[in-house]
Structure 1
């Protein structure tokens, strides 16, 4: 039986002066070294690819972080802009609050002036406005309220005041119209020659009831309407001569007699103090004068109780 000797790699070292040395290398060692080299090379390649991938991942992540940082910086800049705008708005609102309070104070002062004027007008017109006292009693102390509440309360007060003033204006207007219609203006200048009531009969014996007053002056003296109203008669009546009759309102009516000339006609609207006739002595008369009568609710009354003193 043949025996095959195991192959080996032999390295001989021959120095100049020393003994020859031989190194025997097993045949598996080169294969091991080659395998180890290939394994190391593989590991290096694998590690490089992993490191490269990780580096790329870090770069991408860094880019994402940079992008996120840029977005956050933009958002921060926007927030700063919004914050500045908010500060401007707050400053403006604070200024508006001050301005609103000034307006409220101004309106309150106007209210006081309006109420003072109302009282003066009421006194002159001789009326009392019941609705005004309720409005004053409900006056809100605006300074104790917040701005929004003040504005709402102010609006409510203004609405109430507007309605009150509308009623007041109508009432005052009607009152002034009534006062203008009251025949209290002396209808002519001159001497009072005969009063209202019983008097000696100027055309005979005894006494007669005089339904008005007589005012004497020169021929053609202007005769004026004692109050505003509507002419219901303009013409001639027996004993009175030329006559003008004016209906002033539901209460009063006046008569102007013995005129030399009538200046108005039936249906004319006349104002207090407007010339309506000329003084004369037409009809049954003893001289140039105006016979003036006031009728209240269809009955004659003493004109001197109505005419201004």
Structure 2
């Protein structure tokens, strides 16, 4: 009986050892399988790096903004590379020069930024009636500035140069004191259209103030000689022929002005002769004009401010050039 119990205990002990061994093997196997399934941190990092390589950074193109200097408004934004910068530089520069020229001088539909001076005038009460200054867009400077900015981008201001009339406001009322130049021409007062045109153009230049260095433009000062401004049909010279045209007669005003101012030896910027001789001035002493075409322009190189007076009487037109007594002795006469 004792041997029986002893055998039973031996069997139980051996069984327990077997069960313990199986449990340990199973646990080790489960741990191994778990480690194989779990992804490593190194693998995730590599996938993220590959993803970043596949999505390159987007580079914005270089842009140059051209600004109006007073308002700081953008006149034009351009992308240099699209216009040939860096690949076709000569073409790029030519395109900029063309645009700058159109911007300055205008086109058929858009006025240019360049504008001639409209001179101030002396009012009947001695007060100055303001005109407008000379404005010039420096085209070459604009193109050079844009090209310089095209490498890194940025802004460029339009190089606009504004020149006001050069005289002292306090002197204006005294500029009519002495006559330093004068000329008179004659016309048939019975020809209504021509007479009216001479009167209107003479009034336009009457009491005009010319500062030192100012450039006077007859066409700019007088304006359009059309029906909308009161001008009438009259004979005028066109291609060596006398024809009827609106504004005929204004060339007598411009020619009379030329002869009056010429005694001071001013600098002439633009002057043209008629294709036929005219009867109101000696041959070669005329100055033909046509609004939008030929102009009569001169610069006040006398060194002192001047005042123009235009007086129309029955059948005559007189243009006088005046200045202050203080300035009379200082006038520089050209050769």
Bucket of the pairwise TM-score, normalised by the shorter protein = 0.3 to 0.5
- Greater share of helix: 1
Provide the TM-score with structure 2 as the length reference.
0.35
Give the structure, 1 or 2, with the largest relative contact order (CA under 8 Å, sep 6 or more).
2
Q: Which has the larger radius of gyration?
A: 1
